[in-house]
Amino acid sequence: MKNKLMLALVAVFMCFAAQAQTGMKIGYADVDYILSQLPEAKQVESDLQAHNTQLQSQLQSKYQEYQQKGAAYQQEAANMIEAVRKEKEQELTDLGSRLQQFERDAQASLQKKQSDLMAPLFKKVGDTITAVANEDGFDYVLSAGVGGVDIVIFAKEEHDISDTVLKKLGVTPAASN
């Protein structure tokens, strides 16, 4: 995957180098650095930490309950009749399953919370990059090492060939582009 990304980067930069001779202005932005400097990002981090602490507390409580019931079962198992022992074993199995489900739900909750809190910041940063690019006459703005973010994060619409590609594929572009 890294090799493909590097190959794509080299190809993009070669294209930009060839077009740069025609007077294009290219810039870059380090989105991670920008986010690290925003007070709102620090608040998001604090909110996420508080949410994580709450989830961890709930998980720890459920885990302690599971351990206590398991220890009680171990002590009493030898003296239980078969039907009661099977019932307690099933109760422990169910409790273990609920504990695992809670862990999965907690992880999903934390990821959703992070996504919900970060989305407005990403939009704000993206909109600001676009505004700066327009004000300063950049044709392209590249991303400086942000994982998961497109290499080109701003381009003048006149250089967008997306609709042409869609038409060539036999798809009518939506009116919004």
Q: Is residue 6 in some structural domain? A: no
Domain enclosing residue 31, as ranges: 22-168
Nearest to 73 by CA among 99, 54, 56, 92: 92
Range among 4-13, 29-38, 108-117 with highest mean pLDDT value: 108-117
Count up the domains in the chain and report the number. Answer: 1
DSSP state of 137: T
Residue 3 pLDDT greater than 70, yes or no = no
**In the chain, % of residues over pLDDT 90:** 39
H or E element in which residue 23 lies: none
- Residue 177: the pLDDT is 43
3-class secondary structure, 149: coil
Average pLDDT, the chain: 81
Q: pLDDT tens across 105-119, in order?
A: 999 999 999 999 999
| pTM: predicted TM-score of the whole model, two decimal places | 0.63
Q: Is residue 14 in some structural domain? A: no
- Residue 36: the pLDDT is 79
**pLDDT band, very low/low/confident/very high, at 13 (cuts 50, 70, 90):** low
Q: Is residue 176 in some structural domain? A: no
Q: How far apart are CA 61 and CA 57, in angstroms?
A: 6
Residue 59 pLDDT greater than 70, yes or no = yes
Token duo for residue 45: 């981090």
Residues ≥6 apart with Cβ < 8 Å to 119: none
Q: How far apart are CA 139 and CA 154, in angstroms?
A: 8
In 137-173, which residue ranges form alpha helices assigned H by DSSP? 162-168
Q: Is residue 13 in some structural domain? A: no
Q: Is residue 130 in some structural domain? A: yes
Residue 17 pLDDT greater than 80, yes or no = no
- Amino acid code (one letter) for 131: A
Q: Is residue 116 in some structural domain? A: yes
Q: Is residue 15 in some structural domain? A: no
- Residue 154: the pLDDT is 66
Torsions phi, psi for 147 (to 5 deg): -65, 130
Higher-pLDDT residue of 141, 155? 141
Q: By CB neighbour count within 10 A (0-12 exposed, 13-18 middle, 19+ buried), where does 88 fall?
A: middle
